[in-house]
Amino acid sequence: MSIKLEEPLTKVAVQQSAPAGTLAPVEIVPSSKKKSGALSSPVFWLTCAPLIMVLGWALVPSLFSGLDPISGVPAEKFQAPGFAHWFGTDHLGRDVFARVVHGTSQTLLTAGLAVTIGLVAGTGLGLLAATAGRAADAVTMRLIDVLLAVPGFLVSLIIVTAFAPGPISLGIGVGIASIASFARVVRSEVLRVRSLDYVEAAFMNGGTYWSVVFKHILPNSCGPVLALLAVDLGVAILAISGLGFLGFGSPPPTPEWGLLISEGRQYLASAWWLTTLPGVVIVVVVILLAGLGRQLHKIFRF
């Protein structure tokens, strides 16, 4: 208690040493300026625009490709990429671009499920570690070590082995794997925020644990978490397409990105576009998401 009392006293002493009578000039807060600067920067929107388009693919695929992704035109099989078929056609004469566009919702939903699990469980664990005392911190950190030690790939495999292979099993498996990184970021952010003065003030105003956590701590620590969310969505897409490639995702007629490449593998010698072009889409989306994460990190770094 004595230490707590000393701190404000020294601060007062410092303030009084400033020339009396003159008001200290208010420091210009640069953070808000930086914020609008980053939001209006062309790089930010150049990163966002294609991602919004990909979101459009997921929501209304028929708007972006009028061709049928499931049943093809047998006469037009194995056509090289061109104006009629941007990404060419496969062994059944299906338009590959249409399959990529229609597969977006499947891939994004699975990745979204994974990221949601990681976010919710990771935030809970991180918050617990940072606010519930030393014992809780020690236990939670060891738990996070365990989550790191068991590769997410194998967690997905256990779930896929025990239940049927499918998008939900995949999403849960990949989601469990991403809990650890969210928990770490939330923990360090909450530790930073909770030592700030307004948290102390909120407690003095009669705030309870939950009200302070939800009104003051969580909203102010969300920046880096948001940045991680974007990056992790990319990581989840990579993991899901990898597992989809191995055949643990949706069953064949569904156009899922990893499965598309896996199907194209049989025609590697004759039709390069079946594997190469859907892969380019994955690479571009993951890079853009990582870029978005970096931008968000800049925006929220005060």
Partner 1 sequence: MAAYIARRIGQALLVIWLAYTLVFLAVQLLPNDPVTIFLSADAAANPETIAAMKAQYGYDQPLLIQYFSQLAGLFRGDFGYSLASGQPVAERIGAVAGSTLVLASSAFVTAVVFAVLLVASATLARRTWLKRLIINLPPLFAAVPVFWLGLVLLQLLSIQLGVMSLFPDGSFASIAVPVLVLAVHVSAPIAQVLLKSVDNVYAQPFVDVLRAKGASPSWIFFRHTLKNAAAPAMTISGITVGTLLAGSVITETVFARSGLGQVVLQSVTAQDVALVQGLVLITATAFVVVNLVVDLLYPLLDPRILKSGTHGAPRALVA
Q: Which of 44, 97, 248, 300 binds partner 1 (CB under 8 A)?
A: 248
CA dist 284 and 278 (Å) reads 10
Question: Using the rule CB under 8 A, is 200 a contact of partner 1?
Answer: no
Q: Which amino acid is present at 212?
A: V
With contacts defined by CB under 8 A, name the span among 33-41, 86-94, 117-125, 275-283 that binds partner 1: 275-283
Tell me which of 9, 28, 29, 162 binds partner 1, using CB under 8 A.
162
**d(C-alpha 155, C-alpha 180), whole Å:** 13
Phi, psi of 141 (to 5 degrees): -65, -35
Q: Does 261 bind partner 1 (CB under 8 A)?
A: yes
Q: Please name which of 12, 45, 87 lies closest in space to residue 292, comparing C-alpha atoms.
A: 45
User: Binding partner 1 by CB under 8 A: which of 114, 160, 183, 233?
Assistant: 160
Chosen residue from 104, 123, 275, 295 binding partner 1 by CB under 8 A: 275
Instruction: Give residues with Cβ within 8 angstroms of 170, minimum separation 6.
Output: 110, 114, 156, 159, 160, 240, 243, 244, 248, 249
Identity of the residue, 67 or 228, whose beta carbon is nearer to partner 1 in the bound complex: 228
Binding flag, residue 154, partner 1 (CB under 8 A):
yes
Whether 199 and 193 have beta carbons less than 8 Å apart is answered as: yes
Residue among 92 and 148 whose Cβ is closer to partner 1: 148
Taking the C-alpha atoms of residue 267 and residue 142, their distance in angstroms, rounded to an integer, is 47
Site string for partner 1, 100-129 (x = CB under 8 A): -----------------------------x
CA dihedral 69, 292, 52, 93 (to 10 degrees): -20
Instruction: By CB under 8 A, tell whether 258 contacts partner 1.
Output: yes
> Count of alpha carbons within 13 Å of 154, Cβ hemisphere only?
6
Distance separating alpha carbons of residues 263 and 241, to the nearest angstrom = 12
161 binds partner 1 (CB under 8 A): yes
In the complex, the residues that contact partner 1 under the rule CB under 8 A are 129-134, 136-138, 142-143, 145-146, 148-155, 157-158, 160-162, 165, 191, 194, 203, 209, 212-213, 234, 238-239, 241-242, 245-248, 258, 261-262, 264-265, 268-269, 272, 275-276, 279, 282-283, 286-287, 290-291
